[in-house]
Amino acid sequence: MKVLVLNGPNLGRLDLRDTSIYGNLDFPKLKEFIENSASENGFQADVRQSDSEVDIIQWLHEAAESKIPVIINPAAFTHYSYAIRDAAEMLTLPFIEVHISNPLRREEFRHTSVISGIASGTIAGFGPDSYRLALIALKGLLK
Ligand code: DQA
């Protein structure tokens, strides 16, 4: 089964971000890790990244229309994008919010997620394993 794995702004440049927060995988390596974890769990991952809210909203529309489950790391959009939340609300299959870091251990503005309230669940703080754990959870939800 196909799964869309969407990544928001600045995640494409993990190579430039603080490694003490985001670890040592650059985005191409993270993508490979997600693709491998997906196939280990019987999924085919379509991993995408954009710095644009518009792209992410359009990809969510596509997932809603084609009935594809979604794993999403909305990055900074997590904290304020009602437009992404509204688009995610159109999904009928499970969608899981993930974060590489644990936003609740970080600055106060990261303590709010406008997405969590409509997600099937949220996995945060396990580095790239957040995506692997989300794939395992998704497999359980789709059984
Ligand atoms: C993030 C956490 C967000 O607060 C931040 O804006 C990101 C990445 C994470 O994966 O830990 O860009 O979503």
Q: Is 10 in the pocket of ligand 1 (CB under 6 A)?
A: yes
Q: Give the domain ranges of the chain.
A: 2-142
Bridge partner list, 7: 49, 73
pLDDT in tens, 46-58: 999 999 999 999 9
Pick the CATH number of 2-142 from 3.40.1830.10, 3.40.50.9100, 2.60.40.420, 3.60.15.10: 3.40.50.9100
Q: How far is CA 121 from CA 24, 38, 96, 104, 118, in A?
A: 26, 18, 5, 15, 8
Question: Catalytic residue at 111?
Answer: no
Q: Whose CA is nearest to atom 3 of ligand 1?
A: 75
Question: Catalytic residue at 22?
Answer: yes
CA of 116 to the centre of ligand 1 (A): 13
> In this structure, what DSSP letter does residue 55 have?
H
pLDDT in tens, 16-48: 999 999 999 999 999 999 999 999 999 999 999
What pLDDT does residue 78 have? 98
Q: Whose CA is nearest to atom 12 of ligand 1?
A: 75
Rounded to 10 degrees, what is the CA torsion of 61, 67, 72, 78?
50
Average pLDDT of the chain is: 98
